[in-house]
Amino acid sequence: MKFGGTSVASVQRMRAVADRLIARRTAGDEVVAVVSAMGKVTDELLALAHQITPHPSMRELDMLLATGEQSSIALLAMAVQAAGIPAISFTGSQVGIVTDSVYSKAKILQLDAARVMDALAQHNIVIVAGFQGRTADGQITTLGRGGSDTTAVALAAGVGADVCEIYTDVDGVYTADPRIVPRARKIRRVSYEEMLEMAASGADVLSMRSVEFARNYGVTIHCRSSFTDQPGTIVKEADSLMEDAIVSAVTSDTSEAKITIRGVPDHPGVAARVFSTLAGANVNVDMIIQNISEDGQTDISFTAPETDLHRAGGALEAVISGIGARTWTIDDNIAKISLVGAGMKTHPGITARMFKVLAAAGVNIDLISTSPIRLSCIIAQPQVEVAVRALHTEFGLDASA
């Protein structure tokens, strides 16, 4: 049972979470809980660090951010114990969550469930800090924003749980972010494949890595509200009960920026050098577009998370004169909007419909990328809400009023 920041934002909510854990335990289940930092604590810690220095050391930043979750687990364990039920809290490091050494977006390499199993055997409700782990040589790492979901799914796989319940401030996965589209509808069941594309394209109700993990280890996720008992959304292998909609969801992501390199000599090996330098600096490149070359020169644009911009800049400075390119520029006022749907595989014409709707809404398209079940466009950030709502309506996703 994983609880996000909003769900543990106050003492009162912490107690409500403790009550849920106890109720489940009383019903006869063994319970492992994963919690996030309270409320906006992670953002506050980040802001503090940036008041000290614009580019804090990545190691120290992870050391700092991991404290948010560490506070939550101790408080939640106290709340459970105060109700007379045994509970014990553990950090990621204590339960053997071993990651690679990429600070701020570390990947889980290994997890040793023995300590959790022992604590369960001693009748505890086990409470584990989300979002954190340690490297093989003992450095504290964090798993990237939203990473508590990943901790939860990894632990669910590790202990062989029946289900990984992700409790949050919405009552499931919707056809669009309900904050943007008030008429979005709850999706009852969704496949790993579609959920993965949704998470990757901005539906941060579940972190992308958590869905990847769930798919790889066959963990069923139940994403639901921490404020009600209504059933939420089940994420699992595709089956015949799932809707075969052409478009299942519209997503958006405003966390990326577009970088354009101008005057790039158009000969073999240049793109390889640019993108291997970026990869070496741990920049997650998303969409890439290269223009038709004129006079042996071309422009290359790509998108990457804004949080990677500083590293991307450093990498580009190092490579740009070496390849003989002219300049590079950044545009962080962009958004990515996407249509996701397994039915798109077999339905041509969706692209044209998407472009028509965007044109009618006066939205200009900058970059485009596709996968068999996703269609994404980069547009100007101020138009993102208009675009998402127009697409949601066009593809028949609006709830009836």
Question: Contact between 172 and ligand ASP (CB under 6 A)?
Answer: no
Minimum distance from residue 322 beta carbon to ligand ADP (Å):
40
Ranges within 201-240 binding ligand ADP (CB under 6 A): 203-205
Supply angle C-alpha 364, 367, 371, rounded to 5: 120
Amino acid identity of residue 326, one-letter, is: R
Residue burial 324-350, b: 16+ Cβ < 10 Å; e: rest: ebeebeeeeebbbbbbbbbebeeeeeb
Question: Contact between 147 and Mg ion (CB under 5 A)?
Answer: no
Among 341, 23, 354, smallest CA distance to 187 is for: 341
Q: How many CB atoms sit inside 10 A of residue 5's CB?
A: 23
Handedness of CA 346, 349, 351, 356 (dihedral sign): negative
Minimum distance from residue 255 beta carbon to ligand ASP (Å):
12
Strand order of the β-sheet with 108-111 is 108-111, 97-99, 132-135, 140-142
Binding residues for ligand ASP, total number by CB under 6 A:
13
**181 in Cβ contact with 389 (< 8 Å):** yes
Q: Using CB under 5 A, which of 146, 172, 202, 232 touches Mg ion?
A: 146
Q: Choosing among ligand ASP, Mg ion, ligand ADP, none, which partner's interface includes residue 42 (Cβ < 5 to 8 Å by kind)?
A: ligand ASP
Q: Using CB under 6 A, which of 8, 37, 98, 316 touches ligand ASP?
A: 37
Minimum distance from residue 233 beta carbon to ligand ASP (Å):
18
Question: Contact between 391 and ligand ADP (CB under 6 A)?
Answer: no
Question: Contact between 4 and ligand ADP (CB under 6 A)?
Answer: yes
Question: Contact between 130 and ligand ASP (CB under 6 A)?
Answer: yes
Question: Contact between 5 and ligand ADP (CB under 6 A)?
Answer: yes
Strand partners, 25: none
Question: Contact between 202 and ligand ASP (CB under 6 A)?
Answer: no
- What x-and-dash track marks residues 29-58 binding ligand ADP by CB under 6 A? -------x----------------------
Cα–Cα distance, 48 to 44 (Å, whole number): 6
**271 in Cβ contact with 300 (< 8 Å):** yes
Task: Give the pairing type, strands 97-99 and 87-90.
Answer: unpaired
Q: Using CB under 6 A, which of 39, 68, 202, 341 touches ligand ASP?
A: 68
Distance between alpha carbon 275 and the CA centroid of its chain, in Å? 23
Which of the ranges 144-152, 305-313, 333-341, 347-355 carries the binding residues for ligand ASP, by CB under 6 A? 144-152
Nearest to ligand ADP of 46, 261 (CB atom): 46
Which residues lie near Mg ion (CB under 5 A)? 4, 146
Which residues lie near ligand ADP (CB under 6 A)? 4-7, 36, 146, 168-170, 173-174, 176-179, 203-205, 249
